[in-house]
Amino acid sequence: MAALQGRVRQAWAIARKDMRIYYLKGPVLIFGVFMPVFLFLAFYMGGRDLSPAFLLAGLMGMTLFFTSTAVSPAIFPWEGQAKTLERLAASPASIATIVLGDMTASVIFGIGVTMVTLLIALGLGLPLLHGFVLAAAILLAAVCFSALGMLLAVPPTNVPSNIMMLSSLLKFPLVFISGIFVPLEELPSWGMALAVCSPLTYFTDIARYSFTGTHFFPVAADIAALAVFALVFTVAAVVLHRRTMPRRM
């Protein structure tokens, strides 16, 4: 128990350091905050006849996805570039603790910005029918997306732009296949085959259920899928960073 408490304190110390240093970095603000807003406005002004609940739930999905994957991919390259990663690796904190600390900072950033989107939806008068389900989904999806961001940081490069380019190549296709812009029931069969492979699909489905009461997948299946993705991404990130960390030094 004492060892676990020590690891939690170490992870929280790393998370606080990340929050203090990286939240206001240009790439984090551009890809984490401005990008989902610009995508939403471009889609909204396209003139499609979709309900406000559909649009705001999609914006919430994009916001959580982009913000939670904006911080975590770039921390390791930034640390390696600044030569501070060596000090972390030489500290008593294990690589798993470092990864979890970076994920914690990313989770907090994602949830914080997503709360703004939620307040906008409530301010526009949208009824929140399933608040507890949405709260659980936001927390679980933030962990899942942050773990995905840590996976994107696995390539042992200390050039942040390389990681951000790789991140964009993955994130943008996921947004377009996840039912954010096109309802899942309107997707062709090949589109559905791709959509079920995206964790964002399941969070967006829960967000729409929370505001409209309708869903494509059973809510329990959405929650279970997010939990499985979160677990797989987290374990894979820890294992792979153990292999690539020495090559960053």
Chain segment 5-26, per-residue pLDDT in tens: 778 888 888 888 877 877 667 6
Give the pLDDT band of residue 249 (cuts 50, 70, 90): low
Tokens representing 147?
């773990």
Percent of the chain with pLDDT over 90: 27
Give the per-residue pLDDT at 49.
Answer: 65
Q: DSSP of 100-144, one letter per residue?
A: HHHHHHHHHHHHHHHHHHHHHHHHTT---S-HHHHHHHHHHHHHH
Percent of the chain with pLDDT over 70: 82
Mean pLDDT, residues 95-118: 88
Tokens representing 19?
């929050």
- What does pTM read for this prediction? 0.88
Residues across the chain: 249
Q: Rounded distance, CA 156 to CA 96, Å?
A: 17
- pLDDT digits 0-9 by tens, 160-187: 777 777 887 888 888 888 888 888 888 8
Check pLDDT > 90 for residue 79.
no
Give the per-residue pLDDT at 224.
Answer: 96
Question: Taking the C-alpha atoms of 40, 201, 68 and 96 in order, what is their torsion angle to the nearest 10 degrees?
Answer: -170
Give the per-residue pLDDT at 248.
Answer: 65
| R_g of the chain, CA atoms, integer Å | 18
Mean pLDDT, residues 195-200: 93
Check pLDDT > 90 for residue 36.
no
End-to-end CA distance of the chain: 32
Give the per-residue pLDDT at 136.
Answer: 94
